[in-house]
Structure 1
Amino acid sequence: MLKCAEPRRIWVSLTLLAFALVVLALTTLKSFFSIGLLWKPENQKVRSLELIPLEDIFAATSWFAPLFDYLGNFAFFVPLGALAAILLGPGKLWRVAGMAALFSLAIELTQFSFALGRTDIDDLVCNTLGGLFGAWLAGRGGKRWHTLITLLSGLAVLVFLVLVILGPTLGDPTKVVPVN
């Protein structure tokens, strides 16, 4: 006999899986699709290894690129950490952080192994911190936030799917301004 909490648990599990697949698509599969003019798929088949922490900050020609990169990687893993914490229950902050670190490491190793992106120690750190923050947020907000976190994460998955479907039609290439 199904308990009342089981359908919610299934919904959270499916949302976590779907969001994890979005993360995989946006980190390891960008050479196979595009969303408007955000990136060129042919530029994503690269293999680089960046092992110096915070190097992007010191080597950047603008403040926006590293800020976007660090905050983006952090924010990317917040829903994953929150959903995992909802599934595991209270008091599992460090377990969720470890899971985020392992998932991020798997992504970075996949990118390097198959030349599917730039492997960067900063990504691993920011992703892990994002997962940790998501777990903390889910624990701090309690059950009243769990539904909201799950719904927002599911909505993000749907937005991603719509953007991929519309991908080639988004943006006007004639209005792109090259950056130095």
Structure 2
Amino acid sequence: MVLQRMGSVKVASATLVAALAVVFALTLMKGTYSFGGFWSTEAHRNRSIDLQLFDAWSNPTLWYAPWLDAVGNVALFIPFGFLLVTIVAGRWRIPIVFSTLLGFLVSVGIEVAQYVYAIGYTDVDDVVCNTVGAFLGACFARILGYRGRGFVVTLFLVGALCVLAEMVLSVVF
């Protein structure tokens, strides 16, 4: 019963705010903190744009870099799509399309902001992977149905709070 309430619109909305805070911190503030040694802050204080789809796979700097980038960008937006479907289910006739489209628009907004403010690499691959992540999250929410969403919302909330705490600690210490 408690986990079912965790899937409520109010809790899912609060979790979406926490998940978006993680997304924005990981994408727009990555020059200010280190996250588990995954990147150097100095590497993300530049402006570049890459409009060639999946070109990082042809000549990677590290063999695992394209994998980490693609999987990370997909995973980053799975909670977004899942939580949006949880929030708008019953209000929209096509919540998967809505969540995927909104995921695309948020991703484009992030990439534009990264370019304008010289916060790392603006890459069309990120938009594609983020959109796929939003789509997969939305599909997962529809497959689970209302009763099964509470546990996943709880996992997303705890995960988002842990990531945010790690980010704060990396700045403080």
Q: Give the TM-score normalised by the residue count of structure 1.
A: 0.85
The residue type equivalent to 2:101 in the other structure is: G
Aligned with 2:126 (options 123, 137, 157) = 123
Q: CA separation in 2, counterparts of 1:17 and 1:148? A: 17
Question: 1:35·1:168 contact (CA, 8 Å) conserved in 2?
Answer: no
Moved more, 55-64 or 81-90: 55-64
Question: 2:18·2:161 contact (CA, 8 Å) conserved in 1?
Answer: no
Aligned positions, number: 167
Which consecutive residues of structure 2, in runs of 5 or more, have no partner in the other structure?
Answer: none
Q: Which structure's relative contact order is higher, taking Cα pairs within 8 Å and 6+ residues apart? A: 2
Aligned with 1:134 (options 128, 131, 137) = 137
Question: 2:53·2:124 contact (CA, 8 Å) conserved in 1?
Answer: yes
Question: 1:36·1:168 contact (CA, 8 Å) conserved in 2?
Answer: no
**Cα RMSD (Å):** 2.2
Equivalences for residues 15-164 of structure 1 within 5 A = 15-89=15-89, 91-164=94-167
Q: CA deviation at 1:142?
A: 0.7
Question: 2:47·2:122 contact (CA, 8 Å) conserved in 1?
Answer: yes
Moved more, 78-87 or 150-159: 150-159
Residue of structure 2 equivalent to 1:176 = none
**Quick one: structure 1 residues 38 and 168, their matched pair in 2 at CA, closer, same or farther if it must change by over 3 Å?**
farther
% identical equivalent positions: 33
Q: CA separation in 2, counterparts of 1:49 and 1:66? A: 16
Which consecutive residues of structure 1, in runs of 5 or more, have no partner in the other structure?
Answer: 171-180
**Quick one: structure 1 residues 101 and 17, their matched pair in 2 at CA, closer, same or farther if it must change by over 3 Å?**
same
Compare CA radii of gyration and give the structure with the larger one: 1
